[in-house]
Amino acid sequence: MFQTIQIGLTTLVQLAELLHTPAVSQVVVLADENTVRECLPLVEPHLPAGYRLVEMPAGEEYKTLDTCQLLWAELTELRADRYAVVVNLGGGVVTDLGGFAAAVYKRGVRFVQVPTTLLAQVDASVGGKTGVDFMGFKNQLGVFQAAAAVFIDPRFLRTLDPRQLKSGYAEVVKHWLIADAEAFERNRYVGIMVDDWTPVIEESVALKQRIVEQDPLETGLRKLLNFGHTVGHALESYLLQQPGREILHGEAVAAGMVCETWLSYHRGLLSAAELDKIETFLFSIFEKVQFVLLETEAIADYALQDKKNTGSIINCTLLEGIGHGVYDQPVTLAEIVEALRYYHRLPG
C-alpha cells in the first residue's frame, strides 16, 4: 500500500497542483468545526473555486455512520462522479471517517489526507486504514484504502492545545518502543519540548511506512503498530460510553502502553529496569487515566472485540526489549484485568 506522502511547508502548493487538473471533476472538503475555524483559512487559497465544504461536529463520538451520511448526501446532491476528490482536513477522526466514506461512495472515489494534528500526521492519515466506530467499539467498521496522497504541513500543529499535541506524541513514542530503541534513548530526555516537529514527523512516518509497505493488509508485521492499542482501545471505548469521562485516543494509547509494557515484563520478555524506564518516561508526559478498580473487568471486556483477535483468543503486541515489538502474543482476559489493576495501583 504505497502512498505519496509530502511533508513540509510547501505541501499545500503540491495539494493545489493535484486538485487543479482536468482529471478532477469536483472537490469536496470534509472538516470538523475546529479545523474549519483554525485550519481552513490556511488551505482555502490552494483549493479550486467552487469546492464544497462539509462540516462535521468535532469529537470521537461523531465518528459514526450517521456522520458519513453527511458526506454521502453532499456527494450525491453534487452528483459527484468517480473523478471527484474528497479532501479530509482534520485530525484522526476526520481522516479515518472521510477515507472510509470516500472509499465506499460509488465503490470508491479518490481522497487526500491533510492531517492537522500530530496524531493524524504521524499515524492516522498514513497507511491506508479507514473506519468508523460502531456500537461503542473503536473502528469496528472500515476498509484498507490508500489515500491518493497525504500532505503534512507542520504549521497546523501551532493550532493545537498541549493536550492534543501530547495525544499525538503517544503514537510517536509507540513507534520508538516497537522498532527504534536508539530514537527512544535520544528523545526521552527531550519529551514534547520540540521547536521544530518536522524531523520527528519525518522519522515517525518513515518508520511506519517501512512496516506498512511490507504488510499493507495487517496480516503479520503491521500488527506491531497496535502496541498499546489492545488495552488502550478497550479503555477508550469504555470511557466513551461514560458521559463526561471521554479521553483522547493518544491518552488511551499511553495508558495501554503502560499496561502492555507490564504484560511484557510479566511474561519475562522485558526487564524490570526497562519497565521502569518506559513507565517513568510515559508518566513524565501523560497524566494517569482515572477509573475505579471495580471497572477493570468491564473495561477488559472490550478487548474481546479487538480486531487482532483470532476467535476467542486476544492477540496482543508486546515488547521483547525496548525497540523490539513482537506481535500475535495471546493474552487472557484475566491478564488484561491484572494489567489494568497494576496501572490503577501506580501513583499519579
* Same domain assignment for residues 101 and 240: no
Tell me how many domains the chain contains: 2
73: exposed, middle or buried (Cβ count in 10 Å: 0-12, 13-18, 19+): exposed
Q: What cell numbers appear for 297 in the block?
A: 473487568
| Matching residue, cell 470534509 | 30
List, for residues 79-93, the tens digit of each pLDDT value.
Answer: 999 999 999 999 999
Band of the pLDDT at 306, cuts 50, 70, 90?
A: confident
Per-residue pLDDT, averaged over 107-133, amounts to 95
Band of the pLDDT at 188, cuts 50, 70, 90?
A: confident
State the CATH number of the domain containing residue 264: 1.20.1090.10
Per-residue pLDDT, averaged over 281-301, amounts to 96
DSSP, residue by residue, 151-202: EE-GGGGGG--HHHHHHHHHHHHHHHHHH-HHHHHHHTTTTT--S--HHHHH
- Identify whether the C-beta of residue 335 lies closer than 8 Å to the C-beta of residue 247: no
Distance of CA 22 to the CA centre of its chain: 33
* Same domain assignment for residues 192 and 48: no
Query: Closest by alpha carbon to 72, among 113, 101, 107, 32?
Result: 101
* Same domain assignment for residues 193 and 100: no
Angle at 224 (CA atoms; ends 89, 287), nearest 5 degrees: 65
Query: Can you give the residue range of the structural domain that contains 97?
Result: 5-159
* Same domain assignment for residues 98 and 207: no
Query: Closest by alpha carbon to 229, among 144, 123, 312, 316?
Result: 316
State the CATH number of the domain containing residue 82: 3.40.50.1970
**Which one is predicted more confidently, 308 or 263?**
263
Per-residue pLDDT, averaged over 92-104, amounts to 97
pLDDT of residue 201: 96
Measured CA to CA, the distance from residue 324 to residue 321 in angstroms comes to 6
pLDDT of residue 2: 56
* Same domain assignment for residues 169 and 286: yes
* Same domain assignment for residues 204 and 132: no
Catalytic residues: 107, 129, 171, 208, 218, 222, 226, 229, 233, 249
* Same domain assignment for residues 139 and 184: no
* Same domain assignment for residues 194 and 333: yes
Q: Does residue 51 carry a pLDDT above 70? A: yes
Domain-ending residue, one of 159, 175, 200: 159
Per-residue pLDDT, averaged over 248-255, amounts to 97
* Same domain assignment for residues 221 and 298: yes
* Same domain assignment for residues 153 and 67: yes
Percentage of the chain lying above the pLDDT 70 cut: 99
Per-residue pLDDT, averaged over 308-327, amounts to 92
- Range from 15-19, 31-35, 306-310 carrying the lowest mean pLDDT: 306-310
Angle at 278 (CA atoms; ends 272, 283), nearest 5 degrees: 125
Domain-ending residue, one of 159, 175, 209: 159
Average pLDDT, the chain: 95
User: What one-character DSSP code corresponds to residue 290?
Assistant: P
- Identify whether the C-beta of residue 97 lies closer than 8 Å to the C-beta of residue 111: no
Domain-ending residue, one of 131, 159, 187: 159
Per-residue pLDDT, averaged over 126-136, amounts to 94
3-state secondary structure of 59: coil
* Same domain assignment for residues 201 and 120: no
* Same domain assignment for residues 178 and 302: yes
- Identify whether the C-beta of residue 124 lies closer than 8 Å to the C-beta of residue 96: yes
